[in-house]
Amino acid sequence: MTEEKLAQVKIAGFVIKPDAPEIRHVYDEIKEKFQAKGIRVLLVEHSAKMIGYDDGIDFIKLCIESDFLVSLGGDGTLLSLVRKSYSFHKPVLGINAGTLGFLADVTLDEVDTFLDNLLVGRYRIDERMMIDGYIQTADGRKNFYAFNDVVITRPSISHMVKIDASIDDEWFNTYRGDGLIISTPTGATAYNLAAGGPVMYPLTKAFIMTPVAAHSLTQRPLVLPSDFTINLSSPKDKVIVMIDGQDDYEMQAGEILVINGAEIGAKLLHKKERNYFSVLREKLSWGDIE
């Protein structure tokens, strides 16, 4: 199978971790490295204002003009950038300003080497599954995309939620408990893992449905192919729908949450030699005997 490559490597569009003006000097150093390799750097407007620059550009213009996008921060910054830029289908590179992340895996001291490899085609573009969903209300649809997960949860700690679930319009289960997680393989190591769900190889195309504090011991995580359509509703009570832990919606009783696998996945730029299982061992301490 032929690996996807960038058509050209001339312009990089940067988005910086929000509320972190101290990252300015890091951005300046990285910008110099990109420019030294002949790659022009664009900076989104809100990031530019945060670090005291006046040369930022509109986000849509950034996505249109850039050959690839760069997230400077951590996994949360990259996740947000992937979701917001999804309709432009531009590959996203994660430069981690902290420790090694699951998604943003290029560290600051690896930038020079990565750029050298990028310019000679030694890199990978991984396509990660996205969720294409909407909430059907009496007034129409509220559409969204999710990269990690969609979570239905109770609006208050004193109430248990009841969630009716159908697959391809056929009822199959009613969940009772604190909530339900519908995760992509990328999101398997996020809330899904904390709730007892399985780890999945990130390039798999599947949904993971994991109940949160289920009221019955018979409820277990379920893995489904991504070409199924999942419908979820709360028959009597209002619930909260969280998208990637970053956006939330109130879903009223009788409204329907519809989950589909997006036709096109998100594209992440990675080091050619990146090994997902090595990242798992480092982040989750797999194999430790002490």
* Residues classed as catalytic: 75
Angstrom CA distances, 77 to 31, 92, 193, 231, stand at 18, 11, 20, 29
CA nearest 9: which of 128, 127, 121, 124?
121
CA 289 to chain CA centroid, nearest Å = 32
- Tokens 């289960």 correspond to 173
Specify the amino acid at residue 226. S
CA nearest 46: which of 16, 83, 91, 82?
16
Rounded Cα distance between 166 and 134, Å, is: 15
Sorted by sequence, the CB contacts under 8 Å of residue 113 that are 6+ apart come out as none
Q: 194-202 contacts: CB < 8 A, separation 24 or more?
A: 196/221, 197/221, 198/223, 199/280, 201/276, 202/126, 202/128, 202/276
- Backbone φ and ψ of 28, nearest 5°: -60, -45
